[in-house]
């Protein structure tokens, strides 16, 4: 049946999205630090890294749409798609730290949030409970997927300080990450509490 096939277009897009991560990492790692004479390459590498991130972020929307539209949702896709998103996001964020474009504590905070939510979902799944992504979590991803590449771009283009806009959007993503993480925590303990009362 189509829904159970491993090799389908949405899964292939997810795999290709992971393939952009090494390219983004290499581009950001190639940016020289403390060498004003290499500003041209700095701008070029920043632009292409941001471009690849943007393409990868858009591909996440496309593969989700195709999976639902053509009913090709698979177990692999359910697990690999969010993993691809996390690899993309944290791969970029970690590489921005040595460039001075991202604070390490922000990355640690977001990583702790993701690990906590993933752990709660795993425990709930083991109990037969599905904790679906809420609207705040989806909004967090949307703001982050736009804000991060703009921060990555760093330099003004067309007379517009894209990095400043990116930081505003990324700050919204951070706030929504904390807010939605708290929501998952409350939902988890509330659901588990009701379950224990039902089977007590």
Mean of pLDDT values over 108-128 = 85
Q: What is the pLDDT of residue 132?
A: 67
Is the pLDDT at 69 greater than 90? The verdict is no
Identify the three-state secondary structure at position 16.
helix
Compute the average pLDDT of residues 130-152. 86
Whole-angstrom Cα distance, residue 168 to residue 163? 9
Q: What is the pLDDT of residues 77-98, one digit of tens each?
A: 777 888 889 999 999 999 999 9
Percent of the chain at pLDDT exceeding 90: 44
Please give the structure tokens belonging to residue 173: 């993503």
The predicted structure's pLDDT at residue 168: 96
Domains of the chain with CATH codes:
2-198 (1.20.120.1760)
Percent of the chain with pLDDT strictly greater than 70: 86
Distances in Å between the Cα of 200 and the Cα atoms of 64, 124, 197 are 39, 18, 5
Cα 154–chain centre separation? 19
What pLDDT band is residue 1 in, cutting at 50, 70 and 90? Answer: very low
Global confidence as pTM: 0.85
């Amino acid at each position: 049946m189509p829904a159970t096939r491993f090799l389908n277009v949405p899964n292939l897009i997810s795999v290709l999205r992971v393939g952009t991560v090494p390219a983004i990492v290499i581009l950001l790692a190639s940016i020289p630090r403390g060498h004003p004479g290499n500003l041209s390459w700095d701008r070029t590498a920043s632009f292409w890294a941001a471009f690849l991130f943007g393409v990868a972020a858009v591909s996440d929307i496309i593969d989700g749409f195709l999976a639902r539209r053509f009913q090709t949702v698979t177990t692999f896709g359910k697990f690999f798609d969010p993993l691809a998103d996390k690899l993309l996001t944290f791969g970029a964020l970690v590489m921005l730290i040595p460039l001075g474009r991202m604070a390490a504590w922000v990355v640690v905070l977001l990583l702790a949030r993701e690990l906590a939510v993933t752990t709660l979902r795993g425990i709930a799944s083991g109990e037969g409970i599905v904790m679906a992504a809420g609207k705040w979590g989806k909004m967090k991803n949307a703001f982050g997927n736009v804000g991060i590449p703009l921060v990555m771009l760093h330099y003004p283009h067309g007379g517009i300080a894209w990095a400043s806009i990116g930081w505003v959007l990324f700050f919204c993503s951070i706030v929504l990450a904390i807010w939605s993480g708290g929501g998952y925590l409350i939902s988890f303990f509330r659901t588990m509490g009701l379950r224990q009362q039902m089977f007590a």
